[in-house]
């Protein structure tokens, strides 16, 4: 059974349209990929950095941990663990730096947040980085 030339062209067009839709969807969601995290219904914006680095938006973290020190104080203690994004100056803290900062916390909600931070943010990032690195 041979395909009619119009049928062959039609299947190619459908395949190209499908590919184009996939590319457009990926382009539209590119800024949100990997950022849809939340702790107890509190959204927390997270951006991937180099290797296993995950940068959490500081004002989102403060919704969970309101007594977190101000940016200048944190930056003084952890100079490499804090940054301001170029676009809009959003303040961010690296996940492992945040873990170090909160390790001595006593508040139950903060302790639960630390468990979430390890389980949802830090451990998967480190696991993914180990899988990328040659042994």
Percent of the chain with pLDDT over 70: 81
Sheet order of strands, 54-57 included: 46-48, 54-57, 91-94, 82-84
Of the candidate ranges 2-11, 36-45, 70-79, 109-118, the one whose mean pLDDT is the lowest: 2-11
pLDDT tens digits, one per residue of 55-64: 999 999 999 9
pLDDT for res 29: 46
Taking the C-alpha atoms of residue 85 and residue 111, their distance in angstroms, rounded to an integer, is: 28
* Extents of the domains making up the chain: 33-125
This prediction has a pTM of 0.69
Average pLDDT, the chain: 84
| Cβ–Cβ under 8 Å, residues 50 and 67 | no
pLDDT tens digits, one per residue of 2-11: 556 666 677 7
Largest CA distance in the chain: 75
Q: Torsion angle of alpha carbons 114, 35, 83, 109, nearest 10°? A: -20
pLDDT for res 21: 66
Q: What is the DSSP letter of 120?
A: I
pLDDT tens digits, one per residue of 88-127: 789 999 999 999 999 988 999 999 999 999 999 999 888 8
């Amino acid at each position: 059974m041979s395909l009619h030339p119009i049928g062959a062209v039609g299947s190619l067009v459908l395949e190209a349209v499908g590919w184009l839709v996939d590319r457009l969807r990926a382009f539209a969601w590119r800024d949100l990929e990997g950022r849809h995290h939340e702790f107890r219904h509190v959204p927390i914006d997270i951006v991937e950095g180099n290797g296993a680095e995950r940068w959490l938006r500081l004002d989102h973290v403060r919704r969970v941990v309101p007594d977190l020190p101000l940016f200048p104080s944190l930056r003084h203690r952890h100079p490499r663990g804090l940054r301001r994004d170029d676009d809009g100056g959003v303040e961010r803290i690296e996940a492992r730096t945040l873990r170090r900062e909160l390790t001595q916390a006593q508040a139950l909600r903060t302790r639960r947040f630390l468990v979430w931070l390890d389980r949802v943010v830090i451990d998967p990032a480190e696991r993914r980085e180990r899988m990328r690195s040659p042994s």
